[in-house]
Amino acid sequence: MEQHVMFSCPSLGLDIGKYDTIKTGIRELLYSQLGEDKGVAACLIIHTCNKGIEKVSVCVDTLCKYVENIVRNAEEEKYRKIRQSNKAYQERVCCVEGALLFLEAAGFVEQELPFNDGTDKFWVFPTDGDVERLEGLSASLRCAEPLRPTLERSAVVLLPRQAAKVPQLPPEFYNISKEEMQREKQLRSEVVEQSIVLRTKAMRERQSQKDLRKYRFTLLRIRFPDGLTLQGTFRVAEKLSAVMQFVREYLVNDWRPFFLCPSAGKRFTSEDEDQGLSEHLLVPSAMLNFAWDLDVTDPGLDDSVMLAPHAYELISQDQLQDH
């Protein structure tokens, strides 16, 4: 059964879909908000619809500097004008999606004004412009965060027969070709067969960096003693703590300590949780075994009951019919 990497954007109410679909939906929703609050929408467009953190940061700094100059030098006309042919404007502002919308929302207007021996186009902040609103938008621009598609865990619970099948991972899991995938799979199998206890921290970090370049996502399965398996999708860069939290959401006693065990005789501890999934060789897929921490005992606890009722709803009808 091939897995699909799915995304959503809960803050905007977007349904689950492929990455490009959600990304397009976010962009369309932001532009649809221009009529309601152009300033806030422009801030979000700048942070969301452009590639390159540095490019966005430079644009934000430049726009905020324009505002700062106007506020500090309210009586000086030169600070209320931005020449559109200016090199800094062209390289830092004009090329960034949403920047011109921000200027319009802030109250700037386009004018053709005398310049040198001719004329040139300028953005001009009127002498009676709303400086308080200008400052507010500048603060919003500084504080705005990009809206990104959120990776869905795509949680399912597998019956033993389905869990025994090797997962078929889609191409979006990888940053490498199909041929490289096969070679890497063979090499990884050989590595996993060896003892990973002897690997130094430096070795784990080097492997982690390699995996971050090769893989984008990983499919993890958590096998419970009763034979059921919980499955979820994670980014390679996520930490083991994210997997622990994922499992906890489906436990009948979510407060109870437990262990995840990558192999017989080994189990992850709290010290491991801050390390990345690739450092633990949990990419591009892996099986972990679940075990309660038996140091925590209570007469009212039933060790044989692990998953909460809502977890059983993740068993597909197809599996039940085949069972």
Two tokens at 75? 């009586």
Banded pLDDT at 204 (limits 50, 70, 90): low
Q: Identify the pLDDT of residue 179.
A: 64
Specify whether the backbone of 168 is left (phi greater than 0), alpha (psi in -120 to 50) or beta.
beta
Q: Identify the pLDDT of residue 183.
A: 65
Q: Identify the pLDDT of residue 191.
A: 53
Task: Pick 121 or 202 by higher pLDDT.
Answer: 121
β-bridge partners, 110: 123
User: For the chain, what percent of residues have pLDDT higher than 90?
Assistant: 71
**What domains are there in the chain, each with its CATH number?**
7-143 (1.20.58.2190), 153-322 (3.10.20.90)
Q: Identify the pLDDT of residue 190.
A: 54
Is the pLDDT at 158 greater than 50, yes or no? yes
Tens digits of residue pLDDT in 260-316: 999 767 899 999 999 999 889 899 899 999 999 988 877 888 888 999 999 999 998
| Alpha-carbon gap, residue 97 to 92, rounded angstroms | 11
Q: Identify the pLDDT of residue 212.
A: 62
| Arithmetic mean of pLDDT over the chain | 89
Q: Where are the alpha helices (DSSP H) in the chain?
A: 19-32, 38-48, 53-72, 87-89, 99-106, 131-143, 160-163, 178-193, 201-214, 240-248, 309-312, 317-322
Q: How far is CA 79 from CA 28, 123, 215, in A?
A: 34, 11, 49
Is the pLDDT at 146 greater than 70, yes or no? yes
Q: Identify the pLDDT of residue 319.
A: 74
- Dihedrals phi, psi of 5, to nearest 5 degrees: -85, 120
| Alpha-carbon gap, residue 10 to 15, rounded angstroms | 8
Task: Pick 321 or 165 by higher pLDDT.
Answer: 165
